[in-house]
Amino acid sequence: MDLVSRVQRLPIGKFHYTLLWVIGLGWMFDAMDTGLISFILTTMADEWQMSAAQKGWVVSITFVGMAIGAVFAGGLADRIGRRTVFAMTLLIYSLATALCAFAPNLTWLLLFRFIVGLGLGGQLPVAVTLVSEYIPAHVRGRFIVLLESFWGLGWLVAALMSYFVIPNYGWHIAFLLGGLPALYVFMILKKVPESVPYLINRGRIAEAHALVQKLERQCGVEVIEQIEVKAVADKQSVSFRQLWSGPLARRSLMLWLIWFGIVYSYYGIFTWLPSLLVKQGYSIVQSFEYVLIMILAQLPGYVVAAWLVEKLGRKPTLAGFIALCAMAAYFFGQANSVNMIMFWGCLMSFFNLGAWGVLYTYTPEQYPTNIRAFGSGWASAIGRMGGIVAPLVVTHMMVMNNGFSHIFIMFTVVLLSVALVIVLLGEETQGKTLESIGL
């Protein structure tokens, strides 16, 4: 039995759940940092008397960094290791977030937010690749959606910090608190093993064998002494051309379109939600309360997606959640009362974040081991382009007559287009091993 098959046959137990929560907390800190800026910006903009365009650039510059970080971290993870890059990117964005508290002006803030983006963008595709390579095929989708659910927890922490910290202590303290996850690097290095497929692909067979034996002892299964490895000849190179060769070309096209559309809609909606609600006449505290409730609706969205992704499959769950999110976005934009805003806002949050969980399951399943993190990183990077564009478009539309409604009609069209892309180009990967679907 080869090394990868031995990892796949391990019974789900303490090791897998430890990997989930350790990587998940890193994911939560990533989301916390991303969410913090949407709340801080509402207060900071008044204090610094920022124009709509300047507010847009504070958000967009982060996504410029995220796009670059996703590409380079993905390629780097395929060269020097998933665990190393995961820890390194967390350290980068945490320290840069703390530095934002000391930014004397907008120029310095933009520089620090760019560095934050490098770390944020680099961490996510690497994290999901690492977890995917350890979880057996029959529960991989469920585990990745549960991993993504930590994103909802991160936004919840950001909302709670903003609600209790910003009104009482100011936005500088919120940024400083956002730097504390840097201390978590030591936990990652202690608890997270390197990816076995990565070690094999880099020719570190003895190290991979020792690691698999350690896991076999931990899980209480037979410890196999003989080393057997499937051939990996000519698979150590990493190149952009591979993403657009043979069957990978269609997959890359599909993923790039999905990622651009879902990032564009998600960050266009949720990053600006506090500001949009304030513009509709609600106070800052009220807007924070409403967004907090909508964020809570994300958590059951993940739970339902985690169940459906193994029952219905990746493709129908992802397309269905995005289409239902489009419907909720349309009616949210037409809502004219607090009750309707909350109802459709919660549904929009429920389906949007459930879709994210499925997308993070689906993405690494499209590529072979040697370019899995690289391919996932490029898909994420193209998505971040949507994150760059969305804030600029929203700030432009905010000043239009009936801009709130028009903004959400636009997001409805984008989301429906993404659902159509999945239906037309998507392949089902449920229950298949990463080795079989990556080819």
- What percent of the chain is helix, strand and coil (3-state, nearest 5)? 80, 0, 20
Does 424 map to a domain?
yes
pLDDT band at 234 (very low <50, low <70, confident <90, very high): very low
pLDDT at 45 over 80: yes
Query: Which amino acid is located at 217 in the chain?
Result: R
Reported as a single tens digit per residue, the pLDDT across 114-136 is: 999 999 888 888 888 888 889 88
pTM of this structure: 0.76
Tokens of 289: 């309360």
Residue 41 within a domain: yes
Cα distances from 290 to residues 34, 213, 274, 338, in angstroms, run 18, 50, 8, 9
Could you tell me which of 380, 352, 351 has the C-alpha nearest to residue 366? 380
Q: Give the Cα separation of 248 and 232 in Å (integer).
A: 18
Of 336, 309, 331, 333, nearest in space to 320 by CA: 309
- CA 167 centroid distance within chain: 28
pLDDT by residue (tens digit) across 210-224? 999 999 998 888 888
Structure tokens at 197: 């497929």
Reading the block at residue 182, the tokens are: 């840097």
DSSP state of 194: P
Predicted confidence band of residue 182 (pLDDT cuts 50, 70, 90): very high
Q: Kindly report, residue by residue over 339-362, the tens digit of the pLDDT.
A: 888 899 899 999 998 898 889 888
Span 263-319, pLDDT tens digits: 999 878 876 676 667 666 766 656 777 777 888 888 898 889 988 988 888 899 999
Rounded CA gap, 29 and 87, in Å?
12
Helices (H), 192-313: 196-201, 205-219, 248-270, 273-279, 284-296, 298-311
Burial 167-194 (b: 16+ CB within 10 A, else e): eeeebbebbbbbbebbebbeebeeebbb
| Share above pLDDT 90 across residues of the chain, in percent, rounded to a whole number | 32
Task: Give the span between the Cα atoms of 293 and 288, in whole angstroms.
Answer: 9
Token pair of 148 as six digits: 């993504």
> What is the share, in percent, of the chain residues with pLDDT greater than 70?
92
CA angle 299, 351, 89 (to 5 degrees): 60
CATH number, residue 143: 1.20.1250.20
- Give a yes or no: residue 437 inside a domain: no
Does residue 162 carry a pLDDT above 90? no
Say how far apart CA 375 and CA 70 lie, in whole Å.
Answer: 10
Which pLDDT does position 435 carry in this prediction?
A: 59
Rounded-to-integer distance, Cα 298 and Cα 302, Å: 7
Averaged pLDDT for residues 4-14: 88
On average, the pLDDT of the chain sits at: 85
- pLDDT tens for 70-84 read 888 877 888 888 899
Q: Say which residue the tokens 């290095």 belong to.
A: 189
Q: What is the mean pLDDT of residues 196-210?
A: 88
Q: Which domain holds residue 126?
A: 3-431
Is residue 438 assigned to a domain?
A: no
Where does residue 148 rank: exposed (0-12), middle (13-18), buried (19+ CB within 10 A)? Answer: buried
Q: How many C-beta neighbours within 10 Å does residue 30 have?
A: 25
Q: Residue 269 falls within a domain, yes or no? A: yes
Mean pLDDT on 163-179: 88
**Domain count within the chain:** 1
Q: Is residue 9 part of a domain?
A: yes
A 10 A CB-CB count for 433 gives 16
In degrees, to the nearest 5, what angle opens at C-alpha 201 toward C-alphas 199 and 205? 50
Q: How many helices (H) and strands (E) does the chain have?
A: 19, 0
Q: Is residue 286 part of a domain?
A: yes
Q: Considering only CA atoms, give the Rg of the chain.
A: 21
Structural domain contains residue 233: yes
Give the C-alpha distances (Å, rounded to integers) separating 273 from 144, 174, 189, 265, 417.
27, 19, 36, 12, 22
